[in-house]
Structure formats: structure tokens, C-alpha cells
Structure 1
Amino acid sequence: MDWKIFITYVIIAIKGIESSCRFPAFLQTPSHLGETKPWNTETWWINLKHDVRWLQKQDIFIDGNNLWRHREHSMKRCDRVEKRSVYTKTSFGRCSERELVYNRTCLTNEGYNTYKIIQYNLDRTHKFTCMRFIRRSDNLVQVLEGPLSDTNDPDLCDEDGLVLEEWPWVAKWRKQSYKCPISGGFTFRTISRLTNEDHCESEWRRSTLEVECVVGDGLDFMSPVGSDCNPLIRKGHHKRLACWSGWETDRFIYMVAGEFGEQPKYCLRFPKHMKGEFSVLIYFSVICPEEEDGKPPTGIQYYELRMRRKDEDRCEDDDEEQCKMIEAQGICSKEQQEQYTSHCRKTCGLCQHNNAAKQGCYFDAKIHGSWVLYDLNREEDVQIERRHAVFSKFGKFHCREKGTNENQYKTVTTFRNGCVPRYTCFEFSRRNNNLLSYRASRSLRQDKEMEEICAFHDDPFPLLDTYRSYYFKNLILSGIKNLWPSYCGIDSTIPFNGTFNDETCDGTISDWDADTCRTRVSLTLQSTSCPSLLAPLELQCLAFITYQEEDLQEMIITRSMDGRNEFNCWIISSYIIGSRWPWRVLYKMPTTQCTPLSDVESDEMRRPKAALFLEDKEKRKECKPMENPVTLPRDILTRSTNKPHVVRNDQSHSRDNHQRQGQRDEIDLDNPRVVLDEVESASSTLHSTDVFRIVLGVALVTILRCFTR
């Protein structure tokens, strides 16, 4: 039976099942530009040190209460045709064969992320089982399954019958950063578990692994130059991996990792208790065995790393005899021989206290204070003082050197966990009282010149701009009561049309106060056509800034005043379309980070939550008359009007006001009738507040004259 015909049969069968069961939202596979992005599992990688390729993989698609699983084999001939198979071109230039493994439907929810399942087979029979999902991160889930049964037994989801799959499911399409579950510096030697070969047998210098020294660093595997000790590369000194996920069990700590910019290909298993020398297993596919021996299926490449945590308080040589020979050859005194001296710290006299954190500069007082970083899935407190900047999650950075650019600082971070010091460049910009912008460079293990270290760019996938970025990130002054009123930049009431929270909307945005006839320090969005804005949305303005890095762009930073205290950046982009210039669009970003629109189109998480086209030709500034107008004789009010007065911005209006002001200065106050005549002549153009002031003055003068007579 052709697999497409089978799926059609399955769908018809599913429609006959009455089920309110639905798989959890975090499992649902999204679709973008017509392409559904599946979970991936059982990807069997080979030749990871040179000619990287996979032998087979499986993809899982989940939609509502339905789940499909496909298996794909690589290196098949393109002209080979079989039933139930589809042939596609792989990224390695070969063809692959894909087949349906099973189709399943959720029947009932049996507890937290636990579901009773019906499975439809290719021979039109069906089975029943149970599935439980463990969410390890946004990028990865583990799955427990029960045995297949011919009948829908009530005990299918009993704990004793559920077995954990060794292959996790990975969402390689999710651009979500992850902090490694352990950190610190270690030394190691590499043993192949398949051949029991000691790859460091002829090398006396120990290799080094440093994990998440500064958040976002990932894992750095460093081996002596010229050695074969690095398990990840055939020849070379350094290899860096990014963490995709991690979790703990009763006995082990697991990390799933991959090269920056690529999908994950490794699973590392650390013992939970790391004392003395211990063994770490690294698998060259995303398989994470739980058995004590850690043995994967036959053919999976994996290594044992015999590790020891580095102790900065303990100064020792990697090999005392070899280091004595190094000293005898005078290598300890040569600056260019770090590849040897760093392994002979005791013999070469390198055990003195590290002075990397010696104070060399001070942060400018204008950036001192308590701040908060609001970003995707991350809220972080930041405290900047004279000597250091402390990020509650990113780390502590001591001021080391100030650059020729007065806003740039070289900083150093020191550790007590075996990591060597890290050097990072920060650039700050104080935008206003509420807003401090910054960006951070990559953290280096060696102290470099300012020009070299102060290179700003986003990290590769999956971190992107989470910690380090080319564009500035925004920090908000900590404490709602401490926030200052700020100009909003709209200067009127402007109609708009567009989308807000995926709803089509027509409405207005305004920072204009018709009661006082002036701009406010808050924005109001309202609409009668979309539910999200039926109740006006009030936003406190925190900053209005012209975006220097992008032409024709401005940004507004706001805080919602509806009790949720949601902080956002709004980007006003101007476009040149035909004879209309400019055409302005207001975008609401997910956080206070104003990432340029050109850089967020490929990142679903950072895409704007609203896009409002501003009808600038219809913008207005209306002023209401006084609710309790001054009572004057009828003949004075004959030329007055109750219609709202539209404030004009032209210069003639300003000149008229100035001339009237001069005329009022020349009024004969001894004659109240003259004053009232002046009020009558001006009442049609003056605001009611001006009328009130004039009449009040006349009344006071009259009273004073009565007393003096």
C-alpha cells in the first residue's frame, strides 16, 4: 500500500474517534512558509572528525492529537523505487529513502504529560500504548513508552511499564539558548571505548575542558598543540561546542551539545559527584544511555574522558619529570613557550596569585545604578558601581582598562572553579534617565589590545544575540517608582490600521491630552475593531530615541500601566513608497530590545507582536472647551462656539497670539467696558482659559477700585 494512501485511510479512521485529548503545546510542530518543522531523533552520525554525514534519522510531526513518525535512510540510489518510500536529496549530495514508522492518535490524558495512545499500523491493524513526555528544555524532550497492547487496558500507563527512550527528541529549528548545567575547568585524557585506545598515551601534557566560564561560552575542548588528544578533531588545538540542553538524574548529569551554527550531534554524561579522577562519556550522536556501563547500540562512536577538576589553590605540574627537563632546557624563561610552561606551573614558578583582577579603571558615574534587562525568556538584574558591573546571570566584570572611546571598557572576570580569567569589552550609552544601552564582546582567554577585543557581533546559532550582540541592548532603571516621565514622540492623535496580537485592527494612538491641550508622557492605543484594544491600552513612555544605526527609524520604550508592567520597544520605521514619503509603520517588539526589523524576520520569537500603519495625514490635536465655562453677559458670548478647537501649528497663528497679547497689555483697565469689548472681540479665537483669565483680572481691578474710593 502506498504510504500516502495509508495516511489518508488513517485520517478517515481518526475522524471516527471522539477524543478531547490533545498533545501539549510545547510538542506541537510549527509550520513556516508552508514547511512543517519536525522533532528529530535517532540521527546516527558518522565521521564527525572529518567527513560528517548521517546514516539514518527519524522525524516526528505532531498536530493537535495526531502524531506521525518517519524514518529516513541516507546513501540510497535515486533511481530505486519501493512502496511506502519517498526519495529526497540530502545536504550531502546523496539520496535518502523515507518510510512511515507509525501513526498515533492521543485518546486520553492519563496525568501530567502522560497520554494513552492508539497506533495505526500499515496492515490496517491497530495497537494501544502509553507515552509520557519529559520537557528538558524548549529544545529537547525525553519520551517514556509503555508496551504495545492489542487491547485498551486500564493499566497501560502504570509507572512500572514505562521505559525511557535513550534517544531524546530535539527541536533543531528552535533558536533558544541554553546555559550548561555545570561550569568550571577540568583536565582530561581521551580513551576510545570502541577500541580501548589511549589517544594521549604518548602525550604527557593534559588536555583541558572549560565549561560555561562566562555564560554563553559553552564547552571549550583544548588539547596540546600537535597532539591527538582532542576527541572532537583529528588534528588541532581547540574545539568549541554550544549547549542545547541539560538535565540531572540520580546518578548522572547530561548535556546535549553541538558546534556553534549547527544542529546538536553529541551527548555528554558526567557523574553527579565529581571528586578526584572520574570518567565522562561523550557520544557522537544524540543518544544518552542511563545504564551504568553507558554502552550505546553497536556502531555508535563514543569516548571516555578521564577527568579531574582543576584547583586554582593547588599548584602542580602535569608531569614532574618532564617539567624538570623543560626547566633544564631554559624553556620556562621563554615567553613564546606557553604550550609547555602552562603545563609546568609549579616548576616554572607560575603559582603566584593571579593579578588579572587588578583594578585598572573605573566605570563612569553616569552609568552607575541598578538596572533590569528584559529579554526573551530572560530577566536579569544589573548593578553597576565604580569598580565593577554585576549581571545576576551573565557574570561579574571588573573594570580593567578604558579605551580611547570613553564609552568602551575592557573588563576581566576571574574564577575559583578552574576557569582561567576571561577578558570582555563593554560599550555603554546613557540614553536618558530611564535607559542605559550596552553591548558586550566575545570573552577571550588572553588579554588583547582594546582594538582587538572590542569587536561586537552576535554569537552563532543557537545563542544569537542572547548575551553578545552587534546592536545595543537596553537596560531599564530598576524600580517602577524611580522611573522618570519621558517624551513619547507621537505629538498628536494618529489613526492607524494593521495587526495587533494577530488581530486586524483600526484605531488610534495618541500622546495628546485634549483637556490640557498639550502632549502627555504616556501613550493610549484604542480600537473598536479588535478585542485586544477595546479597553484602551495605557503605556508609560520611558524613552524616545532616534535609532542612529538605522536610517528612518525611531524607537519608543514603554511600560504597560494595566498592572502587568510589561516593558516593550516600539520601532517607528519610515518607508519611501511611490510619491508618498515617508510612509510610517509602528512595530511592537516582544521586549525592550529594539533589534532592527531586517534582523528579526528569520527569528520567529523576535518578530513584532504588532504592525500599525500610521495615517499621518489624518493626525490631529484637539482641545476641549472648559467643562465649567465662565458666565459672561450674552453680548460677550455672541461670537463664541462650543466646537472643539484644533490647535494650528502654523507661524501665523503664533503671530496672531503674540499681537493679541500685545493688545491686552495696552487695555485701559480704568474702563471695564473696554476690557469686556476686547474679550468679546477675542472670544471667538481665544481658548476658554484665556477668557477666564481676562475676566478674572477685570473683576479684581473693579473690586480694588471699590475699596480705594
Structure 2
Amino acid sequence: MELKITILPLLLVFFVHHAVQASSCQFPSYLTQRTRWESKISLNRRSTGVYWKFHDRVLEIVDLTTLDADSVLHQCHSELPGQKYVVYRESDGVTSYQCLKFITRSNQVVQFKASVSVKEEEFEADVLCADDSLELDPWPLIWPGETDTYHACPLTGGYDFYMHDNKNKETTCENSHLKPRMESECMTGEGLTLDFRSFECRGRIEMELKQTLYCLGTWNEEDYTYSVVTDNDDLWPKLWVLRFSLHRDQKFSARLYNDIAVDIDSAFTENYFELHFEQAYYPSLCENEASPCLDCDINNAFYCQKTCHTCDALRDVDSCEFDVPSQGEWQEISHQGNRDIAVTSSMIYADDMLPLQCFDLHTDVWYEDKNYRAVATVFKNGCKPRYTCVEFVRISTSVLMYRISQNLIWPQKLILSGQDVCAEEQFRDDPKPLSGEFRSKGLRPLLKKKGVGQHHPTVSCGISGKFLLDAKMMHRSMNCTAYLEACSSSHTFSLQTDSACSGSVDIETHRCLGSFESGSTTMIITDKPAGNGDYYCWAFYKEEWDSVYSVYLLYASDCHAEIGRNIRYYNFKGHLAEFGVKMGSGLFGSHSCHDEFPDMLPTTVDITAKSSAPGIITQSSSDSIDFSTTKNRYYTTSTAFRRSTPKPVFPSTLRKLPTTPRLPLTTPQVTQFSTRMATHAPTAPPQGKSAEFSPELKKPGGGNLKELNQYKPVAAAIKSNGAADACTCSAVLLTLSFVFPLFLSQ
């Protein structure tokens, strides 16, 4: 009996030890927020060998190369500094331990190092996770789905190229009259485009003749830059790895791998294409694209415009001007940040965009009757010139509506008309995650910049009466009651909320600066009487089949014709609040100004006394967040994305508007951007301002029913660990329930 009593405490210690470890060890959110990560991807993702599925404390690795897609569960045992995690698994009564170190290249690309597996009697965490015990796995983990972060590609500029197929030992189009062309990030958000010109030059690469690629993640390792690129296909995105030397000049070579593996020693995979690049320059709208240009027959006139004198170049730049109401200094204010835009008589300057120059087109009645202007951009980094269309519509003294079309790349036609550049189909949003960030389908508001102490003139709001609202503040994920009143003035309205919205009963006044209607949405642009640069948009949205209006509160420049549908159907998350109108008989569901709501909020709040307190939209200075520690939502590079610290948590009030320009450039983008901008002078960013925002990353939904049924053991493992996390003593009681009957039966 003494032996039995001695063994019992040892068993208890063992089970309690594992319960405590399980309760404290948890995989990071950037891994668990994805439904699954893919690894051992080959043949452009036609073959995937392994799925990694991270749950809070369980890692499931599914081997797709086996007949039954064998699944192995690893429990999170402990976390060590440096993104190192000890995991353990049990098989045939034997517990084995392994250390994993994750290296975040982006929110879609994660590399990892792994130790060998050791048995329990050999396990020492510090030894197992020592740097010299870890070996880099050549197959990174990839999330190929949608994301809300745009990763700029590492190359910037334009290059001619020819290609060598390493597997077939064939070289194509080395001496072509019109060489294949690569252009990368010439305009922000364009990604990387390979124009093979012909099927012969494309060889066996599984791409379109003109293929646009987007970068999922970029990093430097030893003497090379690596970038995982995708064709961004809606149904099944293909993947490649682009590798090139850190030390390059106007001529350099790069490898395009079909297998998504890191090939440092050039011996891991033979399945790649060698691309030989040479920078070619097109500094004006009158250049030769082909080489050599020996004659000017009908086939060469288009590609040899300079030699053949067939240029449709800038004929008279000085005669092209933007309308006077469009000229001036403006601000774009959205959930991604602020951007300064200056419109002169013939130029547009904007933060994180190259200057756009107005130029004359062959005019026609269609073009002259519109609010359009064609603009051109020329480069000195090898990129071809771009034609773009800009539309301006001034709706008030303070608000200018604008949109920018997709780019047309020179050369286009020998005679280019307004309808070629400004056709309606040219106005469309960029692919996600940029969407309408730079180029857009709908008009978006700009706010006139004003001097210190100045106030914008107001206009009629276009609404009247009282609105009883069910409110949802997006930063708090909870519902409350709101009351909007537009009775005392046609140029202002007030919003009153109960304590569930902001912690106290608040009343805020909003001044109307402009309003416009598009389709099923009416939008009102407002600021606040303090004139501190807080600009918002109130979008009243109702489809024909809706019984009530929905009202969305957004930053001013987030408003456009499709914003209601984007929020309701396309998962747009940039709005601040949404309101359901409790219908009255008036416009937009308002009630009469004479109606009383005895069950509504108290209306005797002293507005003057509360003027210094933060409201539901404003935020006190003590709530500010250092922008230097907050990564920009849409632009990350290998050095910028290091989400190792917790995301800032905002207090009960809504976040303050970010006021620094977007696109924080970091290595390797700084050098590239500086080179690109060397000959241009966009307006300087505003000084002495801070910015703050903490974007929520999209959390994809869980897989299909087949997967759910196939991996039911995962649910049991998570449930077991959840019990340990809730109360470690539960594991002890469970242990006792099994151990004591064994001893009592002896």
C-alpha cells in the first residue's frame, strides 16, 4: 500500500503539469485566424502536400500525400521568446516533444524552423529550442486566400527580358524584335505584370500572355530577395516564388520557381525559369518600343513611333487646364488614413502617387460634355507612360467629388480619343484589398483644406425631423439607442446616444458641408463645430425591397455610390457605426419635429458642460496611440510586418482620425520609392500630426462539411484543452476519478 501512495502523487504531478502548460500555451492569432495554411506546394499549386491548421492550443497537420489524408495532432506545451513553441504529441503511449520557431514574412507567408522530436525523458525546452537545434524547413506556410493587406512587390520599374527554361534547357525570344516586358509597381497597387508578347516567348509557364501578379510576402535571406507571387484568381490562385540577387544593376537575372520552396543553395529544385532582365527607358510619349526600327511599314509604325513620326504625344500641354472650381488643396480622409491632394491648373499632386499631368486629346462632343480630363504620367525608371482619366464634380464650396480611372499603358492608338481613355468601363475598383483606394468606380469626396481658425461654410443638410435609431458602434460590437434631431437648423443636426454607446449620455452637433445622391444611397458630408478636422459621411441606404432605411457613419472619403451594398453584402469593415431607423412617416423614416418620445433618452443634458468631454466620435488626447508602433493597414514589407505586440485596444469612444500620409515606406521600398520619385515633387506631408488606427484582420469562415466530419478528433482536443484553461483543478479532479478506482480495487 505504501508503493501505491507513493505513485499517486507522481501521477498527479504529471497530469497537473500538463494541464498548467496547456492553459498558458497558445498559438499566436496571426496563425489561428486562418482556416488552414498550405505547405509543400508545387507545380504552381496544382499540388499541395500538407495542410497546417492552428487552433488556440492544438496544431493539426494533415498529410495530403497519404491515401486517407492522415492527420496528426500536436498540443501546445509552452511558449519561449522569439516565436518559439514547444509542442508534444502522444502515439502508442509514447509522448514526444518538438520545438517550432515561426518567422513571419507577411500575414500570408510564414516560414518555420523545427527541431528533431525527442522522447519525454530527453526533453529539455531550452536545449530543444536552442538556435543550433533548429533547422529551416524549405517549404513555407502559405495562406493563398483574400487578405486586407496589400504587399507591394519588391521590384519597381520596367524591364525587357528573355527567358531560359531550366527543366527543358530551352531559351526563348533572346533576340526578339519586340521583347517580352516586365513592369512592377509603376503606379501604386499595379503589382507586377509580365507581357510575353507571344506563345513562343511564354514557353511552358502556366500564365496568360499578359499576366498580372501580386506579391503575398517578400523577405531577404542571405544574398537574395524572395517574393511569393500569385495571379489572384478568384477560384484557385496559382503561386510562384520569385528570387533575385540583392546586388543588381540595369541588367540582372531572376528565378521564377514553380515550387513554393526557398532554394538558398540552388540545389533543392530544378523546376524554375531563369528571367534575364534589362532596363529599358521610355521618358516621353514619343519613343520606339521595338528594336531595331529599320523601316516604317504598317507593322512597324505602331512600335516605332519616334522613327516613323507617328507619335500621338503631348501636342500642347499649356492649353490643357483643370476647371477653376477643381483647383486648390484638398484632403482625402478615409479609414486607411489621410492623403493631401493638390490640383493646379494642369497638374495633380497626391501623397503616395506620382504627379498626373493634364494633356489634350483628340476632342469629340462626348468628351467635351463631361467633367473629364485625361492625364498622363511619365517615368524615368523604365516604366512605360500611363494614360489615366480624372473626373471632378464640385458639389459645394468645401466638397469636391472625384474619381480616377484604371491606367492605360502606352502605346495605345496612333490617334487617342477622349472616349478611349475616359470610357465608363475604365472606372473600376482595383482588386482587393485595395478596392477603391486609388482607382475607383464611384465618385468620392475630397474636403477643402482650410487655414487655422477658419471654418467651412455650411449647406442645407437635406433632412428634417426626428429619427429614432437602433445603433451599433463597430468598435464596441454592441447595440445601443440613438436619437438624431434635425429641427433647430437646416444646416446642422444633433446626435444623442445613451450610455451603452460611449459610457455616458452624449449629444454631438454636426454641420453639413455637402450632400449628394447616387442610386439607392443619399450621403451627407459633415464636420463638427470645433473645426478640428473631424470629417464624416452619413449614408442613408435603402433598397427597393427594404422596409426601413439603414444609416452608416463613415469617414468622409469612404462614401460612394456602392458603400451601402459593400457594407451589407461585401464585408466592408471601415465604417464607424450603423443605425437602423425606426420608421416614421417622413423622408428617410423621420418623425415630425413635434413628435415626442417619452420613452427616449433624457433631453436635459447640458451640452455646454459636456463640451470638453469626449463624445461617441471624438477621442481625448489621452487615448492617442503612437503611430510609429501601428502598422499601416494596406502597405507592408518584409521589415514592416512584425505583429509581435498586441493590437492597440481603443477605449469606449471611437478612434480618432489618422492624420499622417499613408504608405510608410521601409526597406527595401525606401530606395526604390526614392529612385522613382527623384524627378517629381509631390506636396509635402502635413507636419506635426499623429495618426492612429488598429485594423481588424479578416477572419475567414471555417471549411466544408466534409472537413468538419473528417477531423472530429480536433474538436475533442480543443474541448479538452479548453477545460484545462478554464480551471486547472478540473484536470486534477478528472485524474483522481481515474486513478483512485485503480488503487481501491487492489
Task: Report the TM-score when normalising by structure 1.
Answer: 0.68
CA deviation vs aligned residue, 1:257-287 (integer Å, no higher than 9, x gap):
2224343511211222222532101112433
Query: Cα 1:184–1:471, aligned 2, differ >3 Å: closer, same or farther?
Result: same
Partner of 1:6: none
Task: Look up the equivalent residue of 1:557 and give its one-letter code.
Answer: I
* Corresponding residue SS for 2:558: coil
Structure 2 matches for 1:592-603, cutoff 5 A?
A: 592-594=557-559, 595-601=562-568, 603=570
CA deviation vs aligned residue, 1:632-666 (integer Å, no higher than 9, x gap):
xxxxxxxxxxx99xxxxxxxxxxxxxxxxxxxxxx
Query: Cα 1:119–1:574, aligned 2, differ >3 Å: closer, same or farther?
Result: same
Partner of 2:549: 584
CA positional deviation for 1:29: 1.7
Task: Look up the equivalent residue of 1:484 and give its one-letter code.
Answer: H
Structure 2 matches for 1:504-515, cutoff 5 A?
A: 504-512=478-486
Partner of 1:612: 579
- The structure that is strand-richer by fraction is 1
Partner of 2:517: 547
Once residues 356 and 123 of structure 1 are traced to their aligned partners in structure 2, the CA distance between those partners, rounded to angstroms, is: 81
For the 8 Å contact 2:524–2:537, the answer to whether it is kept is yes
Once residues 583 and 214 of structure 2 are traced to their aligned partners in structure 1, the CA distance between those partners, rounded to angstroms, is: 47
Structure 2 matches for 1:429-448, cutoff 5 A?
A: 429-445=393-409, 446-447=411-412, 448=416
Query: Cα 1:340–1:607, aligned 2, differ >3 Å: closer, same or farther?
Result: closer
CA positional deviation for 1:311: 4.2
CA positional deviation for 1:419: 1.1
Once residues 561 and 115 of structure 1 are traced to their aligned partners in structure 2, the CA distance between those partners, rounded to angstroms, is: 52
Structure 2 matches for 1:43-82, cutoff 5 A?
A: 43-45=41-43, 54-73=46-65
Once residues 569 and 132 of structure 1 are traced to their aligned partners in structure 2, the CA distance between those partners, rounded to angstroms, is: 45
Task: Look up the equivalent residue of 1:418 and give its one-letter code.
Answer: G
For the 8 Å contact 2:180–2:201, the answer to whether it is kept is no
Asked which structure has the greater CA Rg, the reply is 1
Structure 2 matches for 1:376-387, cutoff 5 A?
A: 376-387=335-346
* Corresponding residue SS for 2:201: coil
CA positional deviation for 1:157: 3.8
* Corresponding residue SS for 2:171: coil
Task: Look up the equivalent residue of 1:213 and give its one-letter code.
Answer: C
Equivalent residue in structure 2 for 1:464, among 435, 454, 473:
435
CA positional deviation for 1:398: 0.5
Equivalent residue in structure 2 for 1:310, among 255, 268, 280:
280
For the 8 Å contact 1:370–1:478, the answer to whether it is kept is yes
Equivalent residue in structure 2 for 1:397, among 332, 353, 356:
356
CA deviation vs aligned residue, 1:524-556 (integer Å, no higher than 9, x gap):
34113x2535352746445452422x23x2223
CA positional deviation for 1:16: 6.3
* Corresponding residue SS for 1:451: helix
For the 8 Å contact 2:86–2:99, the answer to whether it is kept is yes
CA positional deviation for 1:372: 2.7
Once residues 532 and 73 of structure 2 are traced to their aligned partners in structure 1, the CA distance between those partners, rounded to angstroms, is: 45
CA deviation vs aligned residue, 1:373-418 (integer Å, no higher than 9, x gap):
3345454322211111122213221011373244111110000001
Query: Cα 1:466–1:170, aligned 2, differ >3 Å: closer, same or farther?
Result: farther
CA positional deviation for 1:507: 2.0
Equivalent residue in structure 2 for 1:42, among 40, 65, 69:
40
CA deviation vs aligned residue, 1:65-107 (integer Å, no higher than 9, x gap):
433332335xx9xxxxx6xx3xxxxxxxxxxxx3324434262
Partner of 2:261: 287
For the 8 Å contact 1:485–1:521, the answer to whether it is kept is no
Equivalent residue in structure 1 for 2:181, among 208, 225, 229:
208
Structure 2 matches for 1:84-99, cutoff 5 A?
A: 85=68, 98-99=69-70
For the 8 Å contact 2:39–2:48, the answer to whether it is kept is no
For the 8 Å contact 1:360–1:399, the answer to whether it is kept is no
Structure 2 matches for 1:415-564, cutoff 5 A?
A: 415-445=379-409, 446-447=411-412, 448-454=416-422, 455-478=426-449, 481=452, 484=456, 486=458, 487-501=460-474, 503-512=477-486, 517-518=488-489, 521=492, 523-528=494-499, 530-532=500-502, 534=504, 536=506, 538=508, 540-541=510-511, 543-548=513-518, 550-551=519-520, 553-558=521-526
For the 8 Å contact 1:231–1:303, the answer to whether it is kept is no
CA positional deviation for 1:511: 4.6
CA deviation vs aligned residue, 1:455-510 (integer Å, no higher than 9, x gap):
21223455433322212233233458555154555534432224222544332233
Task: Report the TM-score when normalising by structure 2.
Answer: 0.65
* Corresponding residue SS for 2:249: coil
Query: Cα 1:607–1:393, aligned 2, differ >3 Å: closer, same or farther?
Result: closer
Once residues 202 and 308 of structure 1 are traced to their aligned partners in structure 2, the CA distance between those partners, rounded to angstroms, is: 13
Once residues 211 and 348 of structure 2 are traced to their aligned partners in structure 1, the CA distance between those partners, rounded to angstroms, is: 29
Once residues 310 and 137 of structure 2 are traced to their aligned partners in structure 1, the CA distance between those partners, rounded to angstroms, is: 47
Partner of 2:151: 178
Q: Say if 2:216 is the partner of 1:259.
A: no
For the 8 Å contact 2:215–2:230, the answer to whether it is kept is yes
Query: Cα 1:231–1:450, aligned 2, differ >3 Å: closer, same or farther?
Result: farther
CA positional deviation for 1:124: 5.4
Once residues 298 and 91 of structure 2 are traced to their aligned partners in structure 1, the CA distance between those partners, rounded to angstroms, is: 69
For the 8 Å contact 1:117–1:129, the answer to whether it is kept is yes
CA positional deviation for 1:249: 4.2
For the 8 Å contact 1:219–1:240, the answer to whether it is kept is yes
Once residues 397 and 109 of structure 1 are traced to their aligned partners in structure 2, the CA distance between those partners, rounded to angstroms, is: 51
Q: Percent identity?
A: 20
For the 8 Å contact 1:360–1:401, the answer to whether it is kept is yes
Q: How many aligned residue pairs are there? A: 555
Once residues 67 and 566 of structure 1 are traced to their aligned partners in structure 2, the CA distance between those partners, rounded to angstroms, is: 45
Which one scores higher on RCO, CA 8 angstroms, separation ≥ 6? 2
Once residues 521 and 564 of structure 1 are traced to their aligned partners in structure 2, the CA distance between those partners, rounded to angstroms, is: 17
